[in-house]
Structure 1
Amino acid sequence: MQERQKNRKLYFEELSTTSKKFYIPYISKFKKIEEGMNILEIGCGDGGNLLPFAELGCSTTGVDISAGRIKDAILFFAEKQIKGNFIASDIFKLKSLEHNFDLIICHDVIEHIEDKATFLFNLPKYTKPGGLIFMSFPAWQMPFGGHQQICKSKTISHVPFIHLLPAFMYKSILKMSGENEDCIKELLSIKKTRTPIELFEKLVHKNFITIADRQLFFINPHYEIKFGLTPRKLSAIIAGIPYLRNFFTTSCFYILI
Protein backbone atom coordinates (compact mmCIF):
# COMPACT_ATOMS: atom_id res chain seq x y z
CA MET A 1 0.00 0.00 0.00
CA GLN A 2 1.33 3.42 -0.94
CA GLU A 3 2.01 5.82 1.94
CA ARG A 4 -0.68 8.26 0.77
CA GLN A 5 -3.32 5.54 1.19
CA LYS A 6 -2.47 5.37 4.91
CA ASN A 7 -1.62 9.03 5.56
CA ARG A 8 -4.87 10.83 4.82
CA LYS A 9 -3.40 14.27 5.59
CA LEU A 10 -0.72 13.70 2.94
CA TYR A 11 -3.37 12.60 0.45
CA PHE A 12 -5.46 15.68 1.28
CA GLU A 13 -2.48 17.97 0.61
CA GLU A 14 -1.61 16.19 -2.64
CA LEU A 15 -5.16 16.47 -3.97
CA SER A 16 -5.28 20.13 -2.99
CA THR A 17 -2.10 20.85 -4.94
CA THR A 18 -3.33 18.99 -8.03
CA SER A 19 -6.71 20.70 -7.87
CA LYS A 20 -5.12 24.15 -7.67
CA LYS A 21 -2.55 23.51 -10.40
CA PHE A 22 -4.60 21.50 -12.89
CA TYR A 23 -8.33 21.21 -12.18
CA ILE A 24 -9.05 24.90 -11.63
CA PRO A 25 -7.13 26.06 -14.76
CA TYR A 26 -8.90 23.43 -16.87
CA ILE A 27 -12.36 24.30 -15.56
CA SER A 28 -11.63 28.03 -15.87
CA LYS A 29 -11.44 27.69 -19.65
CA PHE A 30 -15.19 27.15 -19.59
CA LYS A 31 -16.34 28.96 -16.44
CA LYS A 32 -14.38 31.55 -14.49
CA ILE A 33 -13.98 30.55 -10.85
CA GLU A 34 -15.07 33.56 -8.81
CA GLU A 35 -15.67 34.45 -5.18
CA GLY A 36 -19.16 33.52 -4.04
CA MET A 37 -19.67 30.65 -6.49
CA ASN A 38 -21.34 27.54 -5.11
CA ILE A 39 -19.21 24.43 -5.68
CA LEU A 40 -20.32 20.87 -4.97
CA GLU A 41 -18.07 17.82 -4.93
CA ILE A 42 -19.76 14.42 -4.99
CA GLY A 43 -17.56 11.75 -3.45
CA CYS A 44 -15.35 14.41 -1.89
CA GLY A 45 -13.40 12.04 0.37
CA ASP A 46 -11.16 14.09 2.65
CA GLY A 47 -11.95 17.34 0.81
CA GLY A 48 -8.58 18.06 -0.78
CA ASN A 49 -10.01 18.92 -4.20
CA LEU A 50 -12.28 21.56 -2.68
CA LEU A 51 -9.65 23.42 -0.64
CA PRO A 52 -8.31 25.65 -3.48
CA PHE A 53 -11.88 26.63 -4.43
CA ALA A 54 -12.61 27.58 -0.81
CA GLU A 55 -9.39 29.60 -0.67
CA LEU A 56 -10.64 31.58 -3.68
CA GLY A 57 -13.76 32.54 -1.75
CA CYS A 58 -16.13 29.97 -3.20
CA SER A 59 -18.84 28.38 -1.05
CA THR A 60 -17.88 24.70 -1.06
CA THR A 61 -19.99 21.67 -0.21
CA GLY A 62 -18.60 18.16 -0.12
CA VAL A 63 -20.78 15.06 0.05
CA ASP A 64 -19.44 11.56 0.65
CA ILE A 65 -21.10 8.36 1.76
CA SER A 66 -18.16 7.65 4.12
CA ALA A 67 -18.64 9.29 7.52
CA GLY A 68 -14.95 8.73 8.28
CA ARG A 69 -13.82 10.66 5.20
CA ILE A 70 -16.21 13.49 6.04
CA LYS A 71 -14.85 13.63 9.58
CA ASP A 72 -11.33 14.01 8.16
CA ALA A 73 -12.47 16.72 5.72
CA ILE A 74 -14.00 18.78 8.53
CA LEU A 75 -10.80 18.40 10.57
CA PHE A 76 -8.44 19.31 7.72
CA PHE A 77 -10.46 22.40 6.74
CA ALA A 78 -10.58 23.50 10.40
CA GLU A 79 -6.81 23.17 10.62
CA LYS A 80 -6.51 25.45 7.58
CA GLN A 81 -9.08 27.84 9.12
CA ILE A 82 -11.08 27.62 5.90
CA LYS A 83 -14.86 27.30 5.73
CA GLY A 84 -16.37 24.27 4.05
CA ASN A 85 -19.66 22.41 4.33
CA PHE A 86 -19.35 18.62 4.49
CA ILE A 87 -22.15 16.06 4.60
CA ALA A 88 -21.99 12.30 5.09
CA SER A 89 -24.80 11.05 2.87
CA ASP A 90 -25.90 9.69 -0.48
CA ILE A 91 -26.06 12.89 -2.55
CA PHE A 92 -29.34 11.94 -4.19
CA LYS A 93 -31.11 11.84 -0.83
CA LEU A 94 -30.32 15.54 -0.32
CA LYS A 95 -33.18 17.22 -2.17
CA SER A 96 -32.44 20.54 -0.44
CA LEU A 97 -29.26 20.89 -2.51
CA GLU A 98 -30.98 20.69 -5.89
CA HIS A 99 -30.40 23.57 -8.35
CA ASN A 100 -27.88 25.20 -5.99
CA PHE A 101 -24.51 24.86 -7.71
CA ASP A 102 -22.50 26.66 -10.37
CA LEU A 103 -20.08 23.75 -10.62
CA ILE A 104 -20.17 20.08 -9.68
CA ILE A 105 -16.94 18.11 -9.30
CA CYS A 106 -16.86 14.30 -9.63
CA HIS A 107 -13.26 13.20 -9.35
CA ASP A 108 -12.54 9.45 -9.47
CA VAL A 109 -16.13 8.63 -8.51
CA ILE A 110 -17.99 7.26 -11.54
CA GLU A 111 -15.80 4.14 -11.71
CA HIS A 112 -17.11 3.12 -8.26
CA ILE A 113 -20.80 3.45 -9.14
CA GLU A 114 -22.77 0.45 -10.37
CA ASP A 115 -25.85 2.26 -11.68
CA LYS A 116 -24.03 4.88 -13.73
CA ALA A 117 -27.06 5.70 -15.88
CA THR A 118 -29.16 6.78 -12.89
CA PHE A 119 -26.23 8.67 -11.39
CA LEU A 120 -25.71 10.67 -14.59
CA PHE A 121 -29.44 11.23 -15.04
CA ASN A 122 -29.73 12.78 -11.55
CA LEU A 123 -26.53 14.82 -11.67
CA PRO A 124 -27.83 17.89 -13.60
CA LYS A 125 -30.58 18.40 -11.02
CA TYR A 126 -27.98 19.90 -8.70
CA THR A 127 -26.71 22.59 -11.07
CA LYS A 128 -28.02 26.10 -11.54
CA PRO A 129 -28.95 27.17 -15.09
CA GLY A 130 -25.65 27.49 -16.92
CA GLY A 131 -23.85 25.30 -14.41
CA LEU A 132 -21.07 22.89 -15.38
CA ILE A 133 -19.96 19.44 -14.32
CA PHE A 134 -16.27 18.51 -14.15
CA MET A 135 -15.84 14.75 -14.35
CA SER A 136 -12.58 12.85 -14.18
CA PHE A 137 -11.79 9.15 -13.89
CA PRO A 138 -9.16 6.59 -14.94
CA ALA A 139 -9.97 4.52 -18.02
CA TRP A 140 -10.59 0.94 -16.84
CA GLN A 141 -7.95 -0.77 -18.97
CA MET A 142 -5.12 1.57 -18.04
CA PRO A 143 -2.26 0.01 -15.99
CA PHE A 144 -3.76 0.80 -12.58
CA GLY A 145 -7.41 1.21 -13.54
CA GLY A 146 -8.36 -1.40 -10.94
CA HIS A 147 -7.04 0.76 -8.05
CA GLN A 148 -4.73 -2.10 -7.04
CA GLN A 149 -2.44 0.52 -5.52
CA ILE A 150 -4.56 0.24 -2.34
CA CYS A 151 -3.23 -3.29 -1.74
CA LYS A 152 -1.03 -3.81 1.30
CA SER A 153 1.29 -6.09 -0.66
CA LYS A 154 4.09 -3.96 -2.12
CA THR A 155 4.33 -6.37 -5.04
CA ILE A 156 0.65 -6.42 -6.02
CA SER A 157 0.22 -2.68 -5.47
CA HIS A 158 2.87 -2.06 -8.13
CA VAL A 159 1.78 -4.66 -10.72
CA PRO A 160 0.11 -3.04 -13.77
CA PHE A 161 -2.86 -4.56 -15.63
CA ILE A 162 -3.41 -7.31 -13.04
CA HIS A 163 -7.02 -6.13 -12.67
CA LEU A 164 -7.72 -7.23 -16.25
CA LEU A 165 -7.35 -10.91 -15.34
CA PRO A 166 -10.54 -12.99 -15.04
CA ALA A 167 -12.23 -12.33 -11.70
CA PHE A 168 -11.50 -15.79 -10.24
CA MET A 169 -7.79 -15.50 -11.05
CA TYR A 170 -7.60 -11.93 -9.75
CA LYS A 171 -9.30 -12.94 -6.49
CA SER A 172 -6.98 -15.92 -6.03
CA ILE A 173 -3.86 -13.80 -6.52
CA LEU A 174 -5.13 -11.19 -4.06
CA LYS A 175 -5.80 -13.88 -1.47
CA MET A 176 -2.38 -15.51 -1.95
CA SER A 177 -0.79 -12.08 -1.51
CA GLY A 178 -2.40 -11.71 1.90
CA GLU A 179 -4.97 -9.04 1.12
CA ASN A 180 -7.85 -8.91 3.60
CA GLU A 181 -11.47 -9.56 2.66
CA ASP A 182 -12.45 -5.89 2.71
CA CYS A 183 -9.71 -4.97 0.24
CA ILE A 184 -10.55 -7.90 -2.04
CA LYS A 185 -14.23 -7.01 -1.91
CA GLU A 186 -13.49 -3.40 -2.86
CA LEU A 187 -11.20 -4.35 -5.74
CA LEU A 188 -13.69 -6.87 -7.14
CA SER A 189 -16.42 -4.24 -6.81
CA ILE A 190 -14.33 -1.81 -8.87
CA LYS A 191 -13.81 -4.55 -11.45
CA LYS A 192 -17.59 -4.96 -11.63
CA THR A 193 -18.28 -1.21 -11.92
CA ARG A 194 -15.39 -0.46 -14.30
CA THR A 195 -15.66 2.55 -16.61
CA PRO A 196 -14.19 2.40 -20.11
CA ILE A 197 -14.31 5.67 -22.06
CA GLU A 198 -16.81 4.27 -24.56
CA LEU A 199 -19.29 3.22 -21.86
CA PHE A 200 -19.08 6.58 -20.12
CA GLU A 201 -19.66 8.60 -23.28
CA LYS A 202 -22.52 6.33 -24.37
CA LEU A 203 -24.30 6.86 -21.04
CA VAL A 204 -23.67 10.61 -21.11
CA HIS A 205 -25.28 10.97 -24.53
CA LYS A 206 -28.13 8.65 -23.54
CA ASN A 207 -28.95 10.99 -20.66
CA PHE A 208 -28.96 14.06 -22.94
CA ILE A 209 -25.85 15.56 -21.36
CA THR A 210 -23.51 17.43 -23.68
CA ILE A 211 -19.76 16.85 -23.63
CA ALA A 212 -18.36 20.36 -23.96
CA ASP A 213 -14.77 19.16 -23.77
CA ARG A 214 -12.73 16.01 -23.31
CA GLN A 215 -9.05 15.72 -22.48
CA LEU A 216 -7.33 12.36 -22.21
CA PHE A 217 -3.99 12.07 -20.42
CA PHE A 218 -1.19 9.60 -21.03
CA ILE A 219 0.37 10.80 -17.76
CA ASN A 220 -2.23 11.84 -15.20
CA PRO A 221 -1.66 15.43 -13.93
CA HIS A 222 -1.93 14.07 -10.39
CA TYR A 223 1.19 11.98 -11.05
CA GLU A 224 3.27 15.17 -10.90
CA ILE A 225 2.72 15.56 -7.18
CA LYS A 226 2.57 11.79 -6.51
CA PHE A 227 5.56 10.62 -8.54
CA GLY A 228 7.29 13.71 -9.94
CA LEU A 229 6.20 12.90 -13.50
CA THR A 230 5.42 15.64 -16.01
CA PRO A 231 1.77 15.45 -17.18
CA ARG A 232 1.32 14.50 -20.83
CA LYS A 233 -1.80 14.52 -22.95
CA LEU A 234 -2.58 11.42 -24.95
CA SER A 235 -1.69 11.77 -28.61
CA ALA A 236 -4.63 12.75 -30.82
CA ILE A 237 -4.09 9.66 -32.99
CA ILE A 238 -4.41 7.18 -30.10
CA ALA A 239 -7.16 9.24 -28.46
CA GLY A 240 -9.20 8.78 -31.62
CA ILE A 241 -9.03 4.98 -31.58
CA PRO A 242 -11.89 3.52 -29.49
CA TYR A 243 -11.01 0.78 -26.99
CA LEU A 244 -7.26 0.93 -27.70
CA ARG A 245 -7.06 4.39 -26.08
CA ASN A 246 -8.28 2.96 -22.76
CA PHE A 247 -4.98 1.11 -22.27
CA PHE A 248 -3.00 4.38 -22.51
CA THR A 249 -5.34 6.82 -20.71
CA THR A 250 -4.45 7.25 -17.04
CA SER A 251 -6.99 10.05 -16.57
CA CYS A 252 -9.98 11.41 -18.48
CA PHE A 253 -11.11 15.03 -17.98
CA TYR A 254 -14.61 16.05 -19.10
CA ILE A 255 -16.63 19.23 -19.01
CA LEU A 256 -20.34 18.37 -19.14
CA ILE A 257 -23.32 20.68 -19.59
Structure 2
Amino acid sequence: MQQRHLNRRSYFNELANTSRDFYLKYLGKFITIKQGLQVLEIGCGEGGNLVPFAEKGCFVTGIDNSEIRISQAISFFKERNLNGSFICENFLMHKTQLKYDIILVHDVIEHIKPEYKIAFVTLAQKLLSVGGVIFWGFPAWQMPFGGHQQICSNSLISHCPFIHLLPHCLYKIILRIGKENERCINELLEIKKCGISIESFEKILSQSNCKIINRIFWFINPHYKQKFGLPPIKLLYLPKYFRNFFCTSCFYITN
Protein backbone atom coordinates (compact mmCIF):
# COMPACT_ATOMS: atom_id res chain seq x y z
CA MET A 1 0.00 0.00 0.00
CA GLN A 2 1.28 3.47 -0.85
CA GLN A 3 2.35 5.48 2.20
CA ARG A 4 0.16 8.38 1.06
CA HIS A 5 -2.88 6.23 1.83
CA LEU A 6 -1.64 5.75 5.38
CA ASN A 7 -0.68 9.37 6.09
CA ARG A 8 -4.11 10.98 5.90
CA ARG A 9 -2.86 14.53 6.57
CA SER A 10 -0.53 14.24 3.57
CA TYR A 11 -3.39 12.84 1.49
CA PHE A 12 -5.61 15.72 2.64
CA ASN A 13 -3.00 18.23 1.49
CA GLU A 14 -2.58 16.49 -1.87
CA LEU A 15 -6.32 16.63 -2.50
CA ALA A 16 -6.44 20.29 -1.51
CA ASN A 17 -3.67 21.10 -3.99
CA THR A 18 -5.32 19.18 -6.85
CA SER A 19 -8.68 20.76 -6.10
CA ARG A 20 -7.11 24.23 -6.13
CA ASP A 21 -5.13 23.64 -9.33
CA PHE A 22 -7.75 21.79 -11.36
CA TYR A 23 -11.25 21.38 -9.93
CA LEU A 24 -11.63 25.02 -8.92
CA LYS A 25 -10.50 26.24 -12.34
CA TYR A 26 -12.57 23.68 -14.22
CA LEU A 27 -15.75 24.54 -12.30
CA GLY A 28 -15.00 28.24 -12.68
CA LYS A 29 -15.72 27.96 -16.40
CA PHE A 30 -19.35 27.13 -15.66
CA ILE A 31 -20.16 28.98 -12.44
CA THR A 32 -18.62 32.00 -10.75
CA ILE A 33 -16.99 30.77 -7.56
CA LYS A 34 -17.40 33.49 -4.98
CA GLN A 35 -17.98 34.12 -1.32
CA GLY A 36 -21.28 32.81 0.01
CA LEU A 37 -21.83 29.94 -2.44
CA GLN A 38 -23.18 26.74 -0.94
CA VAL A 39 -20.81 23.87 -1.78
CA LEU A 40 -21.45 20.22 -0.94
CA GLU A 41 -19.07 17.29 -1.35
CA ILE A 42 -20.59 13.82 -1.26
CA GLY A 43 -18.10 11.26 -0.01
CA CYS A 44 -15.78 14.00 1.24
CA GLY A 45 -13.32 11.80 3.14
CA GLU A 46 -10.96 14.12 5.03
CA GLY A 47 -12.34 17.12 3.16
CA GLY A 48 -9.26 18.06 1.14
CA ASN A 49 -11.24 18.82 -2.03
CA LEU A 50 -13.28 21.44 -0.15
CA VAL A 51 -10.29 23.46 1.08
CA PRO A 52 -9.96 25.90 -1.88
CA PHE A 53 -13.71 26.56 -1.83
CA ALA A 54 -13.57 27.37 1.89
CA GLU A 55 -10.60 29.64 1.21
CA LYS A 56 -12.80 31.50 -1.30
CA GLY A 57 -15.39 32.12 1.40
CA CYS A 58 -17.89 29.51 0.27
CA PHE A 59 -20.06 27.71 2.81
CA VAL A 60 -18.77 24.15 2.51
CA THR A 61 -20.44 20.96 3.67
CA GLY A 62 -19.02 17.46 3.50
CA ILE A 63 -20.89 14.18 3.87
CA ASP A 64 -19.19 10.82 4.40
CA ASN A 65 -20.27 7.58 6.04
CA SER A 66 -16.90 7.11 7.78
CA GLU A 67 -16.70 8.49 11.32
CA ILE A 68 -12.91 8.48 11.19
CA ARG A 69 -12.78 10.51 7.96
CA ILE A 70 -15.31 13.05 9.24
CA SER A 71 -13.35 13.42 12.48
CA GLN A 72 -10.17 14.00 10.46
CA ALA A 73 -11.94 16.54 8.23
CA ILE A 74 -13.06 18.55 11.26
CA SER A 75 -9.56 18.40 12.73
CA PHE A 76 -7.72 19.31 9.51
CA PHE A 77 -10.05 22.24 8.79
CA LYS A 78 -9.55 23.50 12.33
CA GLU A 79 -5.76 23.34 11.87
CA ARG A 80 -6.11 25.61 8.82
CA ASN A 81 -8.60 27.94 10.54
CA LEU A 82 -11.17 27.16 7.86
CA ASN A 83 -14.90 26.89 8.36
CA GLY A 84 -16.71 23.77 7.24
CA SER A 85 -19.65 21.62 8.21
CA PHE A 86 -19.11 17.86 8.17
CA ILE A 87 -21.77 15.18 8.52
CA CYS A 88 -21.29 11.46 9.11
CA GLU A 89 -24.14 9.89 7.20
CA ASN A 90 -25.06 7.59 4.34
CA PHE A 91 -25.82 10.10 1.58
CA LEU A 92 -28.80 8.07 0.36
CA MET A 93 -30.42 8.75 3.76
CA HIS A 94 -29.63 12.48 3.68
CA LYS A 95 -32.60 14.81 4.08
CA THR A 96 -32.34 18.59 3.88
CA GLN A 97 -34.19 21.57 2.49
CA LEU A 98 -30.89 23.27 1.63
CA LYS A 99 -29.93 23.65 -2.03
CA TYR A 100 -26.33 23.76 -3.19
CA ASP A 101 -24.72 25.84 -5.92
CA ILE A 102 -21.88 23.35 -6.42
CA ILE A 103 -21.89 19.65 -5.65
CA LEU A 104 -18.67 17.64 -5.82
CA VAL A 105 -18.76 13.88 -6.34
CA HIS A 106 -15.17 12.83 -6.79
CA ASP A 107 -14.00 9.19 -6.74
CA VAL A 108 -17.32 8.12 -5.24
CA ILE A 109 -19.75 6.93 -7.92
CA GLU A 110 -17.51 3.93 -8.69
CA HIS A 111 -18.02 2.76 -5.09
CA ILE A 112 -21.83 2.91 -5.14
CA LYS A 113 -23.56 -0.44 -5.65
CA PRO A 114 -25.12 -0.75 -9.12
CA GLU A 115 -28.66 -0.99 -7.77
CA TYR A 116 -28.27 2.34 -5.95
CA LYS A 117 -26.46 4.41 -8.58
CA ILE A 118 -29.58 5.93 -10.18
CA ALA A 119 -31.02 6.81 -6.76
CA PHE A 120 -27.69 8.36 -5.79
CA VAL A 121 -27.47 10.54 -8.90
CA THR A 122 -31.16 11.50 -8.65
CA LEU A 123 -30.77 12.63 -5.04
CA ALA A 124 -27.69 14.71 -5.89
CA GLN A 125 -29.67 16.35 -8.68
CA LYS A 126 -32.52 17.19 -6.28
CA LEU A 127 -30.13 19.05 -3.98
CA LEU A 128 -28.87 21.32 -6.77
CA SER A 129 -29.94 24.96 -6.80
CA VAL A 130 -31.19 26.70 -9.94
CA GLY A 131 -28.12 27.55 -12.00
CA GLY A 132 -25.98 25.18 -9.95
CA VAL A 133 -23.63 22.48 -11.26
CA ILE A 134 -22.42 19.06 -10.24
CA PHE A 135 -18.81 18.02 -10.77
CA TRP A 136 -18.28 14.29 -11.21
CA GLY A 137 -14.86 12.69 -11.27
CA PHE A 138 -14.14 8.96 -11.46
CA PRO A 139 -11.77 6.46 -13.08
CA ALA A 140 -13.12 4.37 -15.92
CA TRP A 141 -13.40 0.82 -14.57
CA GLN A 142 -11.31 -0.79 -17.29
CA MET A 143 -8.35 1.56 -16.91
CA PRO A 144 -5.09 0.00 -15.59
CA PHE A 145 -5.81 0.63 -11.90
CA GLY A 146 -9.59 1.02 -12.03
CA GLY A 147 -9.91 -1.73 -9.41
CA HIS A 148 -8.01 0.33 -6.79
CA GLN A 149 -5.56 -2.55 -6.39
CA GLN A 150 -2.98 0.02 -5.28
CA ILE A 151 -4.39 -0.36 -1.76
CA CYS A 152 -2.92 -3.88 -1.56
CA SER A 153 -0.05 -4.53 0.85
CA ASN A 154 1.60 -6.90 -1.62
CA SER A 155 3.73 -4.60 -3.78
CA LEU A 156 3.58 -6.91 -6.80
CA ILE A 157 -0.23 -6.90 -6.84
CA SER A 158 -0.50 -3.21 -6.00
CA HIS A 159 1.62 -2.35 -9.05
CA CYS A 160 -0.02 -4.84 -11.43
CA PRO A 161 -2.24 -3.11 -14.04
CA PHE A 162 -5.51 -4.61 -15.27
CA ILE A 163 -5.44 -7.43 -12.70
CA HIS A 164 -8.89 -6.36 -11.52
CA LEU A 165 -10.34 -7.34 -14.91
CA LEU A 166 -9.70 -11.02 -14.25
CA PRO A 167 -12.73 -13.24 -13.53
CA HIS A 168 -13.98 -12.86 -9.97
CA CYS A 169 -12.83 -16.29 -8.75
CA LEU A 170 -9.33 -15.99 -10.26
CA TYR A 171 -8.90 -12.46 -8.91
CA LYS A 172 -9.83 -13.66 -5.43
CA ILE A 173 -7.36 -16.55 -5.62
CA ILE A 174 -4.51 -14.23 -6.63
CA LEU A 175 -5.31 -11.83 -3.79
CA ARG A 176 -5.21 -14.70 -1.30
CA ILE A 177 -1.95 -16.04 -2.74
CA GLY A 178 -0.61 -12.51 -2.27
CA LYS A 179 -1.59 -12.81 1.41
CA GLU A 180 -3.98 -9.87 1.39
CA ASN A 181 -6.20 -9.82 4.46
CA GLU A 182 -9.89 -10.63 4.16
CA ARG A 183 -10.91 -7.01 4.72
CA CYS A 184 -8.81 -5.86 1.74
CA ILE A 185 -10.02 -8.75 -0.43
CA ASN A 186 -13.67 -8.02 0.35
CA GLU A 187 -13.16 -4.32 -0.38
CA LEU A 188 -11.53 -5.02 -3.74
CA LEU A 189 -14.22 -7.52 -4.73
CA GLU A 190 -16.89 -4.99 -3.76
CA ILE A 191 -15.17 -2.38 -5.95
CA LYS A 192 -15.18 -4.93 -8.78
CA LYS A 193 -18.97 -5.16 -8.48
CA CYS A 194 -19.41 -1.38 -8.40
CA GLY A 195 -16.96 -0.23 -11.07
CA ILE A 196 -18.41 2.02 -13.75
CA SER A 197 -17.53 2.70 -17.38
CA ILE A 198 -17.98 5.92 -19.33
CA GLU A 199 -20.93 4.47 -21.21
CA SER A 200 -22.74 3.15 -18.14
CA PHE A 201 -22.24 6.45 -16.30
CA GLU A 202 -23.74 8.45 -19.16
CA LYS A 203 -26.67 6.04 -19.31
CA ILE A 204 -27.30 6.62 -15.59
CA LEU A 205 -27.15 10.39 -16.10
CA SER A 206 -29.75 10.10 -18.86
CA GLN A 207 -32.03 7.97 -16.69
CA SER A 208 -31.68 10.51 -13.87
CA ASN A 209 -32.51 13.49 -16.12
CA CYS A 210 -29.07 15.02 -15.66
CA LYS A 211 -27.83 17.18 -18.52
CA ILE A 212 -24.15 16.91 -19.48
CA ILE A 213 -22.66 20.39 -19.81
CA ASN A 214 -19.06 19.35 -20.32
CA ARG A 215 -16.78 16.35 -20.07
CA ILE A 216 -13.03 15.74 -20.20
CA PHE A 217 -11.30 12.38 -20.41
CA TRP A 218 -7.78 12.20 -19.02
CA PHE A 219 -4.97 9.90 -20.13
CA ILE A 220 -2.90 11.21 -17.21
CA ASN A 221 -5.16 12.03 -14.26
CA PRO A 222 -4.59 15.63 -12.99
CA HIS A 223 -4.14 14.22 -9.47
CA TYR A 224 -1.10 12.29 -10.70
CA LYS A 225 0.77 15.60 -10.57
CA GLN A 226 0.55 15.39 -6.77
CA LYS A 227 0.97 11.61 -6.59
CA PHE A 228 3.77 11.04 -9.08
CA GLY A 229 4.85 14.43 -10.40
CA LEU A 230 3.35 13.67 -13.83
CA PRO A 231 1.87 16.44 -15.99
CA PRO A 232 -1.85 15.98 -16.80
CA ILE A 233 -2.60 14.85 -20.37
CA LYS A 234 -6.04 14.76 -21.96
CA LEU A 235 -7.08 11.62 -23.78
CA LEU A 236 -7.22 11.95 -27.54
CA TYR A 237 -10.29 10.67 -29.32
CA LEU A 238 -10.83 6.93 -29.06
CA PRO A 239 -13.87 4.82 -29.98
CA LYS A 240 -16.53 3.97 -27.40
CA TYR A 241 -15.67 1.20 -24.94
CA PHE A 242 -12.05 1.08 -26.13
CA ARG A 243 -11.41 4.48 -24.51
CA ASN A 244 -12.19 3.08 -21.06
CA PHE A 245 -8.90 1.18 -21.04
CA PHE A 246 -6.91 4.42 -21.36
CA CYS A 247 -9.00 6.88 -19.32
CA THR A 248 -7.50 7.28 -15.84
CA SER A 249 -10.05 9.94 -14.89
CA CYS A 250 -13.34 11.24 -16.26
CA PHE A 251 -14.49 14.80 -15.49
CA TYR A 252 -18.14 15.74 -16.01
CA ILE A 253 -20.15 18.89 -15.34
CA THR A 254 -23.91 18.35 -15.17
CA ASN A 255 -26.98 20.26 -14.10
Contact in 1 for aligned 2:66/2:88 (Cα 8 Å): yes
- Gap regions ≥5 residues in structure 1: none
The separation in 2 between residues aligned to 1:135 and 1:225, in whole angstroms, is: 19
Q: TM-score, normalised by structure 1?
A: 0.97
Residue 85, structure 1, aligned to residue 82, structure 2: no
The separation in 2 between residues aligned to 1:71 and 1:183, in whole angstroms, is: 23
Partner of 1:250: 248
Query: Residue 82 of structure 1: CA displacement?
Result: 0.7
Contact in 2 for aligned 1:99/1:125 (Cα 8 Å): no
Partner letter of residue 138 of structure 1?
P
The separation in 1 between residues aligned to 2:78 and 2:249, in whole angstroms, is: 30
State how 1:126-165 maps to structure 2 within 5 Å. 126-165=127-166
Greater shift, 123-132 or 27-36, is seen at 123-132
1:10-38 Cα distance to aligned partner (Å, 9 max, x none): 10000000000000000100001101101
Aligned with 1:131: secondary structure?
strand
The separation in 2 between residues aligned to 1:170 and 1:77, in whole angstroms, is: 39
**Paired residue total:** 253
Partner of 2:202: 201
The separation in 2 between residues aligned to 1:94 and 1:60, in whole angstroms, is: 16
Aligned with 1:103: secondary structure?
strand
Contact in 2 for aligned 1:107/1:135 (Cα 8 Å): yes
The separation in 1 between residues aligned to 2:91 and 2:39, in whole angstroms, is: 14
Partner letter of residue 246 of structure 1?
N
Query: Residue 93 of structure 1: CA displacement?
Result: 2.3
Aligned with 1:169: secondary structure?
helix
- The two structures, once aligned, show a CA RMSD in angstroms of 0.8
Greater shift, 113-122 or 39-48, is seen at 113-122
The separation in 2 between residues aligned to 1:83 and 1:197, in whole angstroms, is: 35
Partner of 2:235: 234
Query: Residue 99 of structure 1: CA displacement?
Result: 4.2
The separation in 2 between residues aligned to 1:219 and 1:165, in whole angstroms, is: 23
Aligned with 2:129: secondary structure?
strand
Query: Residue 206 of structure 1: CA displacement?
Result: 1.4
Partner of 1:39: 39
Contact in 2 for aligned 1:153/1:178 (Cα 8 Å): yes
Percent of aligned pairs sharing the same letter: 54
The separation in 2 between residues aligned to 1:94 and 1:222, in whole angstroms, is: 29
Contact in 1 for aligned 2:218/2:232 (Cα 8 Å): yes
Aligned with 1:212: secondary structure?
strand
The separation in 2 between residues aligned to 1:91 and 1:165, in whole angstroms, is: 31
Contact in 1 for aligned 2:92/2:119 (Cα 8 Å): no
The separation in 1 between residues aligned to 2:232 and 2:60, in whole angstroms, is: 27
Partner of 2:68: 68
Query: Residue 182 of structure 1: CA displacement?
Result: 0.8
Query: Residue 130 of structure 1: CA displacement?
Result: 1.3
The separation in 2 between residues aligned to 1:85 and 1:35, in whole angstroms, is: 16
Contact in 2 for aligned 1:43/1:65 (Cα 8 Å): yes
Aligned with 2:231: secondary structure?
coil
